[in-house]
Amino acid sequence: MIEQNNNKFLIIVLGPTAVGKTLMGVRLAKHFNAEVISADSRQFYRGMHIGTAVPKQTEMEGIPHHFIGSLSLKDYYNVSMFEKQVVQLLGSIYEKNNFAVMVGGSGLYIDAVCHGIDDFPDVNIKTREFLKKEMSDKGLEALLIKLKELDPEYYDLVDRKNPNRILRALEVCIATGQKYSGQRTKPAGNRDFSIIKIGLNTDRKILFDRIGKRVDEMMESDLVEEAKRLLPYRNLNALNTVGYKELFDHFDGKCSLEEAIEKIKTNTRRYAKRQLTWFKRDADIKWFEPGELTEVVEWIEHNQRSKNKQSAIED
């Protein structure tokens, strides 16, 4: 169980893409005089600001934001590195303030900060090479079929467009003879701060309309030109994401621009549904509508008072 400090708080604003997390995060950061930490793994990389909806300077409203555009497309990065860096950063933030705000929709990265990282065994290089060859010969779908057989629970959660996560899960399943999902239950590490999880969600039709409008705004902001600049790096993992893959197909002549735009909207809606599937399993999340700032602040302050009372009793 996490050993939490009752006076230091990490407010986590999570939810599906386009729901309004950025605005809520900035509003909460202003209210609590806090800094914002991005937990959107697609926003870590420079040069992808349109396609990953990086908040504009005007949207940040002068609030310090961390882990946005902090990496080169070619940089190797993983969730374990993120966890260590965030925990270290929080130590510095808490020297100045009792609150920090984390905003994002990458559930794996959020879980890592909350609970630590599972220690998986080293994978036999031959297993990795075999799986990569099978993916090369038969496509990603062949690995998904294998994953569904070995670990149907993780199959339901995983981003099925992310070959790295699928490969990693299969590697662990084969190496241990056990389900990957069943091994992602490492006891939570010590955290010297309290965690308050705020989930944002709304009616599905409203959410899907927001997604459509966001994609249209990206196109108006020259997403096509951004994707063209990134085309030489298309094989890098950072660009294996919705918004770029569809445009790369368009550049290859596989579809018209109009078809690519519709595919971006469709795949973004699917991504949002996967995000909600991931988050809905977490009973610690308190859910709100995107516009309920007052209610969110009241909930956070209620938690703060409760923690302070608990601390006083323990003292």
Question: Which of 2-16, 82-96, 203-217, 228-242 comes out lowest in average pLDDT?
Answer: 2-16
pLDDT tens digits for range 219-242: 999 999 999 999 999 989 889 899
pLDDT > 90: percent of the chain: 69
Domain residue spans of the chain: 9-117+186-314, 125-183
* Average pLDDT score, the chain: 90
d(CA 176, CA 305): 45
- Band the pLDDT of 271: cuts 50, 70, 90: very high
CB 285 within 8 A of CB 197: yes
In which residue are the tokens 């660009």 written? 239
List strands edge to edge, sheet with 285-288. Answer: 65-66, 36-38, 99-104, 9-14, 194-200, 285-288
Separation between Cα atoms, residue 202 and residue 261, nearest integer Å: 24
Cα(274)–Cα(281) distance, rounded to whole angstroms?
12
pLDDT at position 237 is: 83
User: Range with the lowest mean pLDDT among 19-28, 177-186, 211-220, 261-270?
Assistant: 177-186
Rounded CA-CA distance 272/256 in Å is: 24
What average pLDDT does range 303-308 have in this prediction? 85
> DSSP letters of 243-304?
TTHHHHHHHTTSS-HHHHHHHHHHHHHHHHHHHHHHHTT-TTEEEE-TT-HHHHHHHHHHHH
DSSP string, the chain: -----TT-EEEEEE-STTSSHHHHHHHHHHHTT--EEE--TTTTBTT-TTTTTPPPHHHHTT--EESSS-B-TT----HHHHHHHHHHHHHHHTTT-SEEEEEES-HHHHHHHHH----PPPPPHHHHHHHHHHHHHH-HHHHHHHHHHH-HHHHHHS-TT-HHHHHHHHHHHHHHSS-TGGG--PPPPP-SSEEEEEEE---HHHHHHHHHHHHHHHHHTTHHHHHHHHGGGTTSGGG-STTTHHHHHHHTTSS-HHHHHHHHHHHHHHHHHHHHHHHTT-TTEEEE-TT-HHHHHHHHHHHHHHHHHHHHHH-
Place of tokens 């579809």: 255
- Domain 125-183 adopts which CATH fold? Histone, subunit A (1.10.20)
Q: Would the pTM count as exceeding 0.85?
A: no
Tens-place pLDDT, residues 148-163:
999 998 898 888 888 8
Tokens of 164: 């790295």
Q: Which range is least confidently modeled, 91-105, 166-180, 262-276?
A: 166-180
What is residue 306's predicted lDDT score, i.e. its pLDDT?
Answer: 85
Between 211 and 76, the higher pLDDT residue? 211
- At residue 295, does pLDDT exceed 70? yes
CATH of domain 9-117+186-314: 3.40.50.300
Q: Give me the pLDDT at residue 223, please.
A: 98
Split at pLDDT 50, 70, 90, the class of 174 is: confident
More confident residue, 178 or 54: 54
pLDDT band at 2 (very low <50, low <70, confident <90, very high): very low
Return the minimum-mean-pLDDT range out of 29-33, 75-79, 99-103, 281-285.
75-79
